[in-house]
């Protein structure tokens, strides 16, 4: 059903906006603010992008895709890419701990490339096919499951609290 995956598309926009802030932070580094801000961004990615957004995909969307023979393989490709994303943002933390500005920049750009390509694949190739394949009842079931995952992972403050925490980390402008 068209529109079923709009909540996930909206979350993609939020993730991409944070990734852009990370890229700006490494392109104009401030000696005292860049590391803490990037660590706050990684924490945001872990909570919002991974636990919440990828949680919705892995716990609700991918199981629905596996029930369709044309979409089952694509679910496995996306799942693997989620694992690669986790590895790449852990590299950002390692680079910050190693205090190498060049390594931090490289790790941020690697992650940005990866997540942009992943989101583009979902937005432009996969989500429309999934929406065409899902009926209204399956769409309603997914919406309920998305709400359940979000409540479990983001807690009462939701997305707004996570974004506010990120702003408090004083992003370099």
| Nearer CB in complex with Fe ion: 36/83 | 83
Q: How far apart are CA 46 and CA 38, in angstroms?
A: 12
| Nearer CB in complex with Fe ion: 86/172 | 86
Determine the longest span between alpha carbons in the chain, in angstroms: 53
Q: What is the CA radius of gyration of the chain?
A: 17
Q: Extract the tokens encoding 148.
A: 């359940």
Nearest distance in Å: CB 8, Fe ion: 5
| Nearer CB in complex with Fe ion: 122/150 | 122
Nearest 10 degrees: CA dihedral of 14, 15, 18, 20? Answer: -100
Nearest distance in Å: CB 57, Fe ion: 5
Nearest distance in Å: CB 50, Fe ion: 10
Classified as helix, coil or strand, 70 is: coil
Residues of this chain that interact with Fe ion (CB under 5 A) are: 57, 122
Contact yes or no for 52/11 (Cβ under 8 A): yes
Nearest distance in Å: CB 91, Fe ion: 19
| Nearer CB in complex with Fe ion: 38/56 | 56
Contact yes or no for 154/52 (Cβ under 8 A): yes
């Amino acid at each position: 059903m068209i529109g079923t995956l709009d909540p996930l598309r909206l979350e993609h926009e939020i993730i991409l906006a944070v990734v852009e802030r990370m890229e700006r932070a490494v392109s104009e580094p401030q000696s005292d603010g860049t590391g803490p801000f990037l660590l706050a961004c990684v924490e945001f990615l872990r909570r919002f992008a991974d636990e919440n957004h990828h949680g919705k995909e892995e716990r609700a969307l991918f199981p629905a895709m596996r029930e369709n023979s044309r979409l089952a393989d694509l679910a496995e490709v996306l799942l693997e890419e989620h694992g690669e994303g986790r590895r790449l943002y852990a590299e950002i933390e390692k680079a910050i701990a190693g205090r190498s500005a060049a390594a931090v920049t490289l790790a941020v750009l690697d992650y940005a490339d990866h997540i942009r390509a992943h989101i583009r694949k979902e937005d432009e190739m996969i989500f429309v096919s999934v929406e065409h394949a899902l009926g209204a009842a399956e769409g309603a079931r997914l919406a309920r499951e998305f709400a359940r995952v979000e409540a479990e992972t983001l807690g009462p403050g939701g997305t707004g609290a996570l974004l506010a925490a990120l702003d408090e980390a004083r992003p370099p402008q």
